[in-house]
Amino acid sequence: MQRYKAPILACAGLMFSFALAGCGNVSKVDQNGQATALVWPDISRASRSKGIYPDPHHLAMVRPGMDKDQIYDLLGRPHFHEGFLMVREWDYLLHVRTASGDELCQYKILFDRDRTVRSTHWREPSCEAAMRKAISTVAGDAMHADGTHARLAAGMPT
């Protein structure tokens, strides 16, 4: 048993250091899902370095109170490795059409200790404004089979 003790401890230490390696670039998020200062990851460290072209309908549905599974269904897995244990933020790279053209934007979702969305954030205000416009345009144009507008279904004012 003694001869296996050192390799087991070394392996456990290595796994712990890998678990902490992703934690160096995360915001300090409290139990309620609030951050005093947001930390944005370096785009070059993204697992999906090219980002995604999000469906505006899906972004319009992201709301406080949703759980991680619901966010995963809407936007897919996060694009950065924030760590393994007790992760309270997910970061995404999203392509958004802004006034200056197609822009790669950073979008962050903060969770509370119960894995529930508490807030969402855009790194650049121009990205948020452009996505709000895209959501408004798409939602305003869409009609459901029952005659209601997609804007109402997404919880947006008409």
pLDDT at 124: 93
| Residue 154, pLDDT score | 46
Give the pLDDT band (50/70/90) at residue 95.
Answer: very high
32-70 per-position pLDDT tens digit: 777 888 999 999 999 988 999 999 999 999 999 999 999
For 97-128, what is each residue's pLDDT tens digit? 888 889 999 999 999 999 999 999 999 999 99
Tell me the residue type at 131: M
pLDDT at 8: 58
Label residue 30 by pLDDT band (50, 70, 90). Answer: confident
Q: Which two tokens stand for residue 110?
A: 């903060």
Beta bridge partners of 101: 98
In this structure, are residues 23 and 82 in contact, taking their beta carbons and an 8 Å threshold?
yes
Q: How far apart are CA 26 and CA 49, in angstroms?
A: 18
Ordered by where they begin, the domains of the chain are 48-151 (3.30.1450.10)
Q: Are 137 and 129 in contact (CB under 8 A)?
A: no
pTM over 0.85: no
Mean pLDDT, range 73-81, rounded to an integer: 94
Residues 8-22: tens digit of each pLDDT:
554 444 444 444 444
- CA geometry: angle at 124 spanning 32 and 37, to 5°? 35
C-alpha angle 14-17-19 in degrees, rounded to nearest 5? 110
Q: Under DSSP, is residue 158 helix (H, G, I), strand (E, B) or coil?
A: coil
Kindly tell me if the per-residue pLDDT of 71 is higher than 60: yes
Whole-number pLDDT of residue 97: 86
The answer, yes or no, to whether residue 155 has pLDDT greater than 60, is no
Q: What does 12-76 look like in DSSP terms, one character per residue?
A: HHHHHHHHHHGGGG---B-TTS-BSS--PPPGGG-SSTT-B---HHHHHH--TT-BHHHHHHHH-
pLDDT score at 150 = 47
